[in-house]
Structure 1
């Protein structure tokens, strides 16, 4: 898939350097994660390498989401679509979501799913405590997401931006439900997988909100006017 992305970006008319670079960045992340994945297997699913493997996969999701957005934009300078305070709120939401994802890897590394056997040494943290920290981070993200949704409505933001904020709330609600059920049912494997998928969907939704707060209009073709001296000399 990454190879097709690079080929498509390189074959586009007109050629767009930014898309090609994003495609190659995806390739480098995949190669790096392949190496880390091999190390993870050789170490018997060591919780630290598992956490790094997931975070690197999240970085790939980040680049692919940005690539998807850039295919729908031009290459001109980004122009804000909302006031500066709203963009600041978005940055806070991004930072808190990153903390939430990182805390989730610590919960996994400290809990019963951190390795393939009881012989794998877990992260030296109390599982219940890390789960509570993770839950608090999730509630902060939810609060910021609700604030973003309300502020966008008050600021009369574009309809697509408000829709993305709404989608984020829906994904967060579903992910929170899975997380709590997972905790109180002693982390069954099926729900662990669903929660990991939900983590990616939450991050994509947060990115989509942030990316919708600015626009890059396509460059307009420069058409000579009737008074252009180059036309009059023809």
Structure 2
């Protein structure tokens, strides 16, 4: 249920500052994300063939004291719905400006070799959600009912209801739908959470919502 993310830092190891330049998607700023389970099976693949496209929204100066920081939400690129340890690898090629404003386009858009030292790697461990953790995740989500506040890469990554996928969320989500009928409180986040759970109980709950809920609820099912 958590919006599992990795935070990585691009550091300047030289003695001169450079600027990261904003580019439209499909151009020179690109990154490759790979995730492997404990058996070595790749479970999250790069987007758009061999790479996933990303770009900074604003030009940033990268100095020795001020690195370039990004947060990548893994759930956008694959489904991690089993407990266990995962290995995460990421490579980022940035378009940048050097001294005098000269543009550098970075590396060719192809998958870098495994031995390239610019790969960065970490590991994460996913645990079965406890009732306390489920309540904590849903409490955070309650503070971000507006969809626009739940998107974007940054330190404020919040839970995504489409990524819950665990049976432990069914009853707590239904409870929130039942107890909070205020018309200004959109129920879609709770319905989206139930719809993400691949169990018979979750499907039955959605069918019950279609049959018994007001039209404002049914439109989200």
Taking structure 2 as the reference length, the TM-score comes to 0.23
Taking structure 1 as the reference length, the TM-score comes to 0.22
Larger radius of gyration: 1
More strand by share: 2
More helix by share: 1
Does 1 or 2 have the higher relative contact order (CA < 8 Å, sep 6+)? 1
